[in-house]
Amino acid sequence: MDMQVIPARSEDYNLKDYQKTRENFKWDDVNKHFTWNETGKVNIAYEALDRHAENPAKKDKVALLYSAPGREERLTFADLSKQSNRFANVLKKHDVNKGDRVFLFMPRSPEFYAAFFGILKTGAIAGPLFEAFMEQAVRDRLQDSEAKVLITTPALIERVPQDELPKLETIILVGESGVAHTYIDYHREMAGASDEFDIEWVNLEDGMLLHYTSGSTGKPKGVYHVHNAMIQHYATGEWVLDLKEDDVYWCTADPGWVTGTSYGIFAPLLHGVTNVIRGGRFTPDDWYETLEKNEVTVWYTAPTALRMLVSHGEGALRKYNLTSLRHIMSVGEPLNPEVVTWGLKAFNLRIHDTWWMTETGAQLIVNLPTLEIRPGSMGKPIPGIEASIVDHEGNELPPNQMGNLAIKEGWPAMMRQIWNNPGKYESYFINGWYVSGDSAYRDEDGYFWFQGRLDDVINTSGERVGPFEVESKLIEHPAVAEAGVIGKPHPERGEIIKAFISLNEGYEKSDELLEEIRQFVKTGLSAHAAPREIEIRDSIPKTRSGKIMRRLLKSWELGLPTGDTSTLEE
C-alpha cells in the first residue's frame, strides 16, 4: 500500500495500548472514578464542579479562563461552584423542578456557565440555543420543549416571540434592559441568592440536556441526553483529548451545539482541567492569539477553522508562539488529508479527526493519539464501542464495501429520546444497530472512511442544516412559490446552502429580490441557514406525491447524470 501514514509520536499518552484496553474493557470500570460509585447519588454538575471545589488541592484552580472583546475573567472551581449554586437558588425561587426545561439563549459568558450548571443542579434539563438563531428557530425549540424558563439578554429578547409561548413562565435577562420590570434581572437575583444549595441528586438515566438538531424532513428534533453521558465524556477526555492535570484546554465550539457542551464544558471540567472560553466570532488571528495568550496545550476545533488557517498563510502563523500546543483534534465534517499534512508542517503535530453526532452524545470513532493516522480516515472506534457498516436491513457488510455507518446500540452517552417524538427515536435503530445516516466504509485494518450523508442533511462549516427548515422559511416570502434546498460542495466551508426557487405571479427576477429573500431567511431563521446561492427556475422538480426531488437538483448542480426520474411529476 502506498498510502501515507503518520505514526504515533513517542509521548506518554493516557491510553497506551488500544487493543488491550478494548479487549478487557467494561464501561462499569469507568464508574470507579466517580463518587456515585460509593453513594449511588449522581449529578453531572457535582462531578464537574463541586467535587473539585470540595478538594482543597483543587478548589482554587482556574476552571474557566474566559475572554471576549472587552472582558476577561478567571473563575476557579470554587467560584463556579458557588455561582451555579446561587443560580440554582434563583431557579428554585421561580419554581423550577426536576425535569423542567430551562433554556439558555445567550453568548458565551461567565453568566452562561453559572446558569448552565445552576440548571443542572436543580435536576432540570438545560437547553442551550445558538446565539445566531432568529425568531423562527427560537420559537420552534421553545415550543417543542415547552420550556418553562428562559435565560437571555436584552439584545436577543426581541427574537423571542413571547405571545406564542404560553408555557414560558419566566424570562431572566442578563444585562441592562430598560424594561427590567417585566423581566427578572439576573444580576439582582444573583446578588440576593445564597451560594449554598442542596443539589438535586438524580438517577444516571435522568435527563440533563436537550440539543435540537436537523434531519432531512420536519422541524428540528430535541435530542435528549442523560447524566449517564458523563461516563463517556470522562473516558474520552482521558483517551482522546488525552487530558492531564496541567493542561490548558480549548474547544472552539459554541455550547449551542453538542461539541460545545460534551467537549466545551463536560469533558475538561470532569477532569478538573482549566478550560479556555473565547466569546464572540473568531478570525484566524483570533484563533492564533487565543492559543498563544492562554498557552493552550490541547485544542479541539473544526475542519472549516483549520482550512481557514491554511488559506490565511504561513506568514500569519509565524507571528505567534504556539509551542505550548501538544495535541490537536477536529470534528464535524470531513478533515481533508491536505489539512492533516499542513498540520504536521505548521505545528509539528498530528491533527486527530474524531467522528460522532448530536445523537451519539460523545465521540465514537476517532484517531487516537496512540494509533497511526491514515489521513482522510476518521480512525477507529474507542474502547467500549462496536462500529460497523450495515445495509438498509441492518446486516453487516464486509470490508471496503460502502454502506451505512452504524453503532451497536447502548453506549453511555447515547441519546435516550427524541423529545416528544418516540417514532422518530425508534427510526434510528435497525436490528440492534444505531444507524447514523452517514455513508462510510471500513478498511481491512478496521479504519473507517467517511463518504457522505445518505440523506439530504447539509453540513455547512460543520453546522448541520435541515433543507426542509430552509425551504419552509423561503416559501413564507411572498415572492417565493416553491423552494428546494441542497448542499453544494465548497472548498473552505465543506458545503454551502444553495436554494432553487420558483417565483409567484407578479414577481420579476432581480438581484435586489434575491438579496431580499436571502436576508429574509437570515433574519427570520438564522444566519448560518441562509442560502449563499439562490437560483430561479420556472418550477421545482417534485415527485408525484409532492416531495421536492433534492437529489435531482443536486445532480443538475453538479452536472451529474440524473438517474431514475420515473417518479418525477410532469
3-state secondary structure 357-418: CHHHCCCCEECCCCCCECCCCCEEECCCCCEEEECCCCCECCCCCCEEEEEECCCCCCCCEE
Q: What is the dihedral of CA 178, 184, 187, 188, to 10 degrees?
A: 90
- Residue 10: φ, ψ to 5°: -95, 10
- Local structure of 254: helix, strand or coil: coil
Q: Which triple of cell numbers denotes residue 134?
A: 432568529
Q: What separation, in Å, do the N-terminal and C-terminal C-alpha atoms of the chain show? A: 50
Please, which residue, 89 or 354, has the CB nearer to ligand WT7? 354
Task: Please state, in angstroms and rounded to a whole number, the distance separating the CA atoms of residues 427 and 437.
Answer: 11
Cβ partners under 8 Å of residue 562, min gap 6: 552, 555, 556
Is 148:96 a contact under the CB 8 Å cutoff? yes
Task: Please state, in angstroms and rounded to a whole number, the distance separating the CA atoms of residues 268 and 242.
Answer: 10
Please, which residue, 35 or 216, has the CB nearer to ligand WT7? 216
State in angstroms the smallest separation of the CB of 503 from ligand WT7: 32
Please, which residue, 193 or 270, has the CB nearer to ligand WT7? 270
Please, which residue, 256 or 383, has the CB nearer to ligand WT7? 256
State in angstroms the smallest separation of the CB of 538 from ligand WT7: 33
Please, which residue, 110 or 264, has the CB nearer to ligand WT7? 264
Distance (Å) of CA 499 to CA 103, 519, 559, 562: 31, 13, 16, 18
State in angstroms the smallest separation of the CB of 355 from ligand WT7: 4
Q: Residue 19's beta-bridge partner residues? A: none
State in angstroms the smallest separation of the CB of 288 from ligand WT7: 23
Task: Please state, in angstroms and rounded to a whole number, the distance separating the CA atoms of residues 34 and 234.
Answer: 10
The secondary structure of residue 33, as a DSSP letter, is G
Alpha-helical regions (H) of 428-510? 467-474
State in angstroms the smallest separation of the CB of 404 from ligand WT7: 11
State in angstroms the smallest separation of the CB of 133 from ligand WT7: 14
State in angstroms the smallest separation of the CB of 365 from ligand WT7: 8
State in angstroms the smallest separation of the CB of 463 from ligand WT7: 7
State in angstroms the smallest separation of the CB of 146 from ligand WT7: 23
Please, which residue, 34 or 450, has the CB nearer to ligand WT7? 450
Please, which residue, 110 or 403, has the CB nearer to ligand WT7? 403
Binding positions for ligand WT7, rule: CB under 6 A: 213, 258-259, 331-334, 353-358, 378, 436, 438, 450, 453, 459, 464
Residue among 221, 231, 197 nearest 127 (CA): 221
Interior angle at CA 264, CA 260 and CA 265, nearest 5: 110
Q: Which triple of cell numbers denotes residue 486?
A: 441542497
Please, which residue, 186 or 419, has the CB nearer to ligand WT7? 419
Please, which residue, 192 or 452, has the CB nearer to ligand WT7? 452
Considering Cα of 219, then 98, then 54, then 197, what sign does the dihedral take? positive
- Local structure of 28: helix, strand or coil: helix
Task: Please state, in angstroms and rounded to a whole number, the distance separating the CA atoms of residues 323 and 325.
Answer: 5
State in angstroms the smallest separation of the CB of 356 from ligand WT7: 5
Please, which residue, 199 or 529, has the CB nearer to ligand WT7? 529
Residue among 340, 238, 191, 274 nearest 34 (CA): 238
